[in-house]
Amino acid sequence: MCGIWALFGSDECLSVQCLSAMKIAHRGPDAFRFENVNGFTNCCFGFHRLAVVDQLYGMQPIRVKKFPYLWLCYNGEIYNFKQLQKQFGFDYQTLVDGEVILHLYNRGGIEQTASMLDGVFAFILLDTANRKVFLARDTYGVRPLFKVLTDDGFLGVCSEAKGLINLKHSTSLCSKVEPFLPGHYEVLDLKPSGKVASVELVKFHSCKDEPLHAACDTVEALPSGFDLETVKSNIRILFENAVRKRLMAHRRIGCLLSGGLDSSLVAAVLLKLMKEININYPLQTFAIGMENSPDLLAARKVAAHIGSEHHEVILNTEEGIQAIEEVIFALETYDITTIRASIGMYLVSKYIRKKTDSVVIFSGEGSDELTQGYIYFHKAPSPEEAAEESERLLKELYLFDVLRADRTTAAHGLELRVPFLDHRFTSYYLSLPAELRIPKNGIEKYLLRLSFEDSNLLPKEILWRPKEAFSDGIASVKKSWFSILQDYIDQQVDDLLLEKAAEKYPFNPPKTKESYYYRQIFEKHYSGRSSCLPHYWMPRWVKATDPSARTLKHYKSAAQE
């Protein structure tokens, strides 16, 4: 994890523009560098480094003697860089996994480069010999990337929007900052003036398609067919492989553990594999919640079962409420459920950074979208519509859960790893018949749970634990985080303000006091950027006015059961 930033064709003094790059310094607390591009005085790269691999030669932009005309700034981890080296005979000059991008590009161009990378990434590649700039982002947008491109060819690129919104330019303030679409690459011509012109934007991978890099994966061809035992075995093999490849790190590995199915599976498989490869320190797991909250109790049970070094962060109401503005600033969104769920994750990340030496943090993001874990999937009209909804959610992850997971951890200089969003694992799961993937017997993620039932990785009551919304599970069932927020915000927003909300905020107008409160804070920091959120996250197939699982009829608390 790191922060990348680049400008091409700036009319303003670069030493002034570079101040904007300091707004993402939290993403790389170990070192930073600004570097001008030879022959293009109005182009430069900025880089904030979190040193996870190759402590000596990991600074960026990466340049190697073999390709003096290539400049690379990237954020991410390429898990198959050694397999690609073996397959194509690449001669690496550093231990940096991202160096493979230069070799792939030299061998087969940008299309092959983006398609062959197994990992999470956002990169800016400059080819001064052919006067080209390339941008690319991984399939699910696990690593963030934003850009601004003016009519006269000034380009700004950054890991977070906050590094671009105050850039100055001769024709205008650069206000139209947009997320770069996941699973795409863009080709731009670089003019002698340093300005650029977009040539094409290409989608190189869809979540349903088996990735091109599967051909050189450590797990070879799997048994075909959809009989249940074969499917369960393939799911276990691919998920374990997804966790194993993410063990690549020179810094200590930890794991977020809510006690729900997803984070518990990740933690259990992670600890098993760490033992197998003789990692000689205990796995630290981290849970957050109010005293005796459902998540804390469940996480404690999982940690005892798997044998991790477990840390509990007790959340008090005042601390959670005080964090709201910091969280919205970090997130760059005003989406209701994203903000709610981010507060706990932000505070546990803060604890990890201050109190431990874990830096590479595993988490369970992506499972709800992939395996139909949201409670409203019980209301899907048909398996086919449930499958379509699952794909829609995966495509929008970069606006919601993946955004939350990246910003809350990156705000504290941590690197997140999400095995459920492994390209090979997700493409296989999505290839299964729709009927196999739907909730069964009143239980969501039924197939995933069934696949691990005989593994003894988790206690049965955890493996079959019903879905808790993260923002709800951190509080007691009697007084949820959802309710605590409502009580506080009700005192902060006047009824009259809410009545006139549509006049003040015509785009995505707030419908509740809570959404109004968040919107006010968002506009304070990111005025005029409301279009960054195309719509609020809301459940489908139910009459819901709030995204919380607690408002759905299917939701059952432990006290009710």
Residue positions annotated with a catalytic role: 2
Output the CA angle 355-361-365, nearest 5 degrees: 130
105 in helix, strand or coil? helix
Per-residue tokens: 474: 């951190």
One-letter amino acid for residue 515 of the chain: S
Q: Among candidates 34, 14, 15, which has minimal Cα distance to 24?
A: 34
Phi, psi dihedral angles at 437 (to 5 degrees): -95, -10
Residue 507: φ, ψ to 5°? -90, 130
- In 325-410, beta strands by DSSP E: 358-362
Q: Is the link from the previous residue into 509 a cis peptide, with omega within 30 of 0?
A: no
Tell me: is residue 363 an annotated ligand-binding position.
yes
Bridge partners of 412, per DSSP, are: none
Q: How far is Cα 140 from Cα 396, in angstroms, rounded to an integer?
A: 8
Query: E strands within 9-103?
Result: 31-37, 40-49, 62-64, 67-78
The response to whether 97 counts as a known ligand-binding position is: yes
Question: Known binder of ligand: residue 256?
Answer: yes
Dihedral over alpha carbons 292, 297, 303, 309 (to 10 degrees): 0
Nearest to 161 by CA among 21, 336, 12: 21
User: 3-class DSSP state for residue 52?
Assistant: coil
Q: Give the sign of the dihedral formed by CA 296, CA 302, CA 304, CA 310.
A: negative
Contact 375, 549 (CB under 8 A): yes
Binding-site positions: 97, 256, 288, 363-364
Binding-site positions for L-glutamine: 97
Binding-site positions for ATP: 256, 288, 363-364
